[in-house]
A and B are shown apart, each in its own frame.
Chain A
Amino acid sequence: MAAPTIHELTAAFARGEQSPVAVAESYLARIDTLDGRVGAYLTVMRDEALSAARASEARYRAGAPLGPLDGAPVALKDVFCTRGVRTTCGSRILESFVPPYDATMVERLRTAGAVILGKTNMDEFAMGSSTEHSAFHVTRNPWDLTRVPGGSSGGSAAAVAGGLAAGAFGTDTGGSVRQPAAFCGVVGLKPTYGRVSRYGLIAFASSLDHVAPFALDIVDTALLLGAVAGHDPLDATSVEAPVPDYVAALAGGVKGLRIGVPDEYFGAGLDPEIDRAVRAAIDVLRDRGATIERVSLPSTAYGVATYYIVAPAEASSNLARYDGVKYGLRVPGKDLIDMASRTRAAGFGAEVKRRIMLGTYALSAGYHEAYYGQAQKVRTLVRREFEAAFARVDLLAAPTTPGVAFTHGDKADPLAMYMNDVYTIPASMTGLPAVSVPCGFNAAGLPIGLQLIGRALDEPTLLRAAHAYEQATPWRHRSPALG
């Protein structure tokens, strides 16, 4: 039987048929039984979760719940600062860091009554596509424990897929929510850049980092986005636009929508089973009344190279703060520079070091213009191509990933790992909203994701199309046989 969605759970709370405390206890018990095999969590917040669930239950008893997320059991990637709860970012350098404040999105979830079950595993500093770069342990894909859940938000994706949380949040910088959503057969939405505050999110690449929900269906996705979206004076890059009612916007279907299919997303390197599943999904959208058109985004092939300059460059600057002075690990040294160099050598893993080196190189004297300058110009080309496409169509439809979940250790070569992000990077670089929706399974029973990309701040149209697709297909009702 499929795990319940958040809207099913909170509707049952409102009718008095289920208790938030009993539901929180059942998720915690499931984590106790199964997470040893999955490895989704780094920290389980048992006491905090039960206390939040008791408060939620009291509100329902008093007839005054806070809304449709009151009592919802959710998990948070360990990149979000949680007051009084260890936040590691998957790194030894922050192994014992206890934030003195909540991220804005955490505060908003608490205000909505959500019950936070714990903090989930991730690639260190969100750098990776498999969660194998966590400094602590690997996470296994609930559909096949020999495979990765994707990354970098692999713990959150595995938690939702495995019924270890009803919903979750991750961050998507180059695909870190959409790719694990596709690998784990759940929904993952990267909202428009600036739609959700980044305050209290441990920074990786500031012009690319997005707070992004995972859910079992589109209604839950709309609820989770609605709870955290909106301007925040603490994040100067958050946008001022009003937050629409994303759930109300789901009605209406795709009749009359123009959907573009970019040629470059169906080229060499795409797994034929994914090609078939995504084309079949596009047929479903056509059958429901959408108009399908071919479009071209010629710079797609340059996306990965551009991203792997811009993101490491920003990371090398953001991660300069881990110097052993103010918080986190300190390894003593003979002077300040020696202390910082030893601290960073001991505290960062291999992938983080690679990206810091790459970013520092790309920004260093003599190379800045050739690498960073050129990458920023290519980013403009990518943006213009999307603008031209969106002058003709309302949405784009494409695969989320070129392949299905791979086995642990399969992508030991860094460049092979980076190529996984080829279809997710363009929406990251342009800040456009994009969602991965389950669109079937390959012959081995591994999930496949359909990616829809929308116009800036047009999450309502994006989610409406995703909802129409989900309602027309059976994928949502399949769950992994974890026990």
Chain B
Amino acid sequence: MISRDDVEHVARLARLALSAAEAERMREQLSGILDYIDTLRALDTAGVEPTSHAVPLVNVMRDDETRPCLPPDVVLANAPDPSDAFFRVPRIIEE
């Protein structure tokens, strides 16, 4: 069971502005889904190592060399608010 406070806390972590109606619907739906997911808790997994990936690859390395990359104007072409060679955002540090 997930509370309205939980939903609001998680929405803040996820950077999602939810309306009150959306938050309530989310609480109901997530509760239903989590009830189902909770069936997993019944499984005994003591001593089982976790699988994070289907293929056992570790530490894929490459040489530390410079390689060509996209020019700044191409990278900034999709930016909502470019300024010179930068992405402009609202002020973060108080004056």
Contacts and interface: CB of A to CB of B under 8 A. Distances in A.
A345 B23 CA distance: 12
Contacts of A97: 78
Given A364-B13, A379-B50, A100 B75 contact: yes
A377 B33 contact: no
A357 B25 CA distance: 12
A144 B6 CA distance: 43
Contact of A236 (B16, B40, B57): B57
A98 interface: yes
Given A357-B30, A431-B55, A302 B16 contact: no
B55 A193 contact: yes
Interface in A75-128: 97-98, 100-101
B54 to A, nearest CB: 3
Interface in B13-52: 13-18, 22, 26, 29-30, 32-34, 36-37, 39-41, 43, 45, 48-52
A415 interface: yes
A376 B45 CA distance: 10
B9 to A, nearest CB: 8
B41 A358 contact: no
Q: Which of A325, A353, A361 has the most CB of B within 10 A?
A: A361
Interface in B63-85: 70, 74-75, 77-81
Contact of B17 (A328, A345, A357): A345
A345 B78 CA distance: 20
Contact of A377 (B48, B53, B57): B48
B50 A415 contact: no
B78 A328 contact: yes
A375 B40 contact: yes
B89 A377 contact: no
Contact of A207 (B45, B48, B53, B90): B53
Contacts of B87: 325-326
B14 A356 contact: yes
A313 to B, nearest CB: 11
B14 A334 contact: no
Contact of B50 (A193, A327, A344, A380): A380
Contact of A237 (B15, B40, B57, B91): B57
Interface in A339-355: 339-342, 344-345, 348, 353-354
Given A339-B90, A357-B7, A364-B10, A381 B78 contact: no
A361 B30 contact: yes
Given A357-B11, A377-B48, A100 B26 contact: no
Chain B interface residue count: which class?
Answer: 35 or more
A160 interface: no
Contacts of A380: 45, 48-51
A333 interface: yes
Nearest to B22: A353
B18 A345 contact: yes
A383 B54 CA distance: 8
A156 interface: no
Interface in A287-339: 299, 302, 304-306, 308-309, 316, 320, 323-330, 332-339
A357 B16 contact: yes
A364 B50 CA distance: 18
Contact of A327 (B48, B51, B53, B79): B79
B81 A308 contact: no
B80 A340 contact: no
Nearest to B57: A237
Nearest to B47: A377
A429 interface: yes
A414 B28 CA distance: 11
Contacts of A55: none
B92 interface: yes
Interface string A394-435: 000000000000000000011100100000000001111000
A308 to B, nearest CB: 6
Contact of B14 (A101, A339, A357, A432): A357
A299 to B, nearest CB: 8
B21 to A, nearest CB: 12
Contact of B41 (A334, A335, A370): A370
A111 to B, nearest CB: 19
B60 interface: yes
A415 B32 contact: yes
Contact of B74 (A100, A333, A339, A375): A100
Contacts of A429: 51, 54
B37 A340 contact: no
Contact of B49 (A327, A337, A377, A418): A377
12 contacts: A193-B55, A304-B36, A326-B87, A327-B78, A328-B78, A334-B90, A338-B90, A345-B16, A358-B33, A361-B30, A374-B41, A415-B32
Given A207-B53, A345-B17, 14 more contacts: A97-B78, A233-B62, A237-B53, A239-B57, A306-B40, A324-B80, A328-B78, A340-B15, A354-B30, A356-B16, A364-B9, A375-B40, A376-B52, A415-B36
Q: Which 9 A-B pairs have the closest CB atoms?
A: A431-B54, A376-B50, A330-B80, A327-B78, A377-B45, A345-B17, A236-B60, A341-B17, A379-B51
